[in-house]
Structure 1
Amino acid sequence: MEILGWLLIIVLFIVGMAGAIYPILPGVVAIYGAFFVYGLFFSFKEFGFWFWFIQTTILAVIFIADYAVSAWGVKKFGGNRASVIGATIGLIIGPFVIPVVGLIAGPFIGAVIGEVISGTEINRALKAGWGSVVGLLSSIVVKVILQAIMIVLFFIWI
């Protein structure tokens, strides 16, 4: 049972880190879930108030930052609400329509379409599309760093 417990924890950590890049995977929730798997298979006694407080705070920061950093990228490059919505839709749909490339092309195309629909000229729409890519990549970096911190803290705590 010990081996099964560790396998599940490792798989959840891998899925979590992959989810930082590929938005369809549960990401930070998988990492957070690994803590519960550890508790169920081994013990929750290592995890006190501060462990759960720190990990839950990081979880909340990741959820907030994921949207905020992406929206910041679009806004920084002159985009409006329509391009933020388009980029979000493109991020969800893009990887399915165009595997691999769709992860970056989806938000770009979505932001551009959102801008064009809202009446923005094409050059400004393309700039907002580029902003969506910058925001996406920045968001991925932030998530990878924070999720890695969560995993490191887990191993330090146990």
Structure 2
Amino acid sequence: MDIILLIVGFILMLVGIVGSILPVIPGTPISWLGLIVLYLAPSIEFDWTFIIITGVVAIGIYIMDYIIPALGTKKFGGSKAGAWGTFIGLIVGILAPIPFGILIGPFVGALVGELAFNQTQGPQAIKAAFGSFIGFLASTFMKLFATFVFLGLFCWKVWEFRSLLF
């Protein structure tokens, strides 16, 4: 049972890392579920404090994931059209067979959103698109960092209880 829970928890960790980049998968909460699954293994002591603290962090990051891009867009004078353009551009960038599409897509999407749907003029549209892009990058970095920290905690617990697990 321990090995099955260990494998499922590790898979959830990997899905969480992928989800920290892809907007359709809630990366940090899925990585947190990987920690919970690990703690369900009978050989590992269940630590409520650890689970609660990491859960609060996961929920906080999940909420901030929606706030940070909006703040970046607003800070640089962008609109909701720019924020939506960032999201749509990210999806297109992921699906498009171009190098660095995941980075180019959000910026181009925000720019198109500002120019086409918000009627923002040249330099202001570029500034707003840049703000939206910076917000997206900051949010993605935060999620990616958190999921790697969760993976590190997962590996540390497995290493700590390796004699009982294997």
Computed over aligned residues only, the root mean square deviation of the Cα atoms, in angstroms, reads: 2.6
Partner Cα distance (1:71, 1:98) in 2 = 27
Larger radius of gyration: 2
TM-score calculated relative to the size of structure 2: 0.77
**Residue equivalent to 2:102:** 103
Alignment CA distance shift 1:37-1:100 (3 Å) = farther
Unaligned runs of 5+ in 2: 162-166
2 CA distance for matches of 1:118 and 1:62?
29
2:76 aligned with 1:77, yes or no?
yes
Distance 2:11 2:66 in 1: 26
CA distance in 1: counterparts of 2:19 and 2:70, whole angstroms: 19
Q: 1:58–1:150: 8 Å Cα contact kept in structure 2? A: no
Asked if the contact 1:24/1:92 (under 8 Å) is kept, the reply is: no
Aligned residue pairs: how many? 157
Corresponding residue of 2:86: 87
Aligned-partner Cα distance in 1 for 2:19–2:130: 22
Aligned-pair identity in percent equals: 34
- Shift of the 54–99 alpha-carbon distance from structure 1 to 2, 3 Å rule, reads farther
Residue 20 of structure 2 aligns to a residue in which SS?
helix
Mapped to 2, the partners of 1:7 and 1:92 lie a distance apart of: 29
Kindly report structure 1 stretches of 4+ aligned residues shifted beyond 4 Å: none
Deviations 1:54-81 (CA, angstroms, capped at 9, x unpaired): 1221111111211212122222222122
Is the partner of 1:21 in helix, strand or coil? coil
Deviations 1:74-116 (A, max 9, x none): 2222212221122122223431234653312221122112211
Preserved contact between residue 28 and residue 59 of structure 1 (Cα < 8 Å)? yes
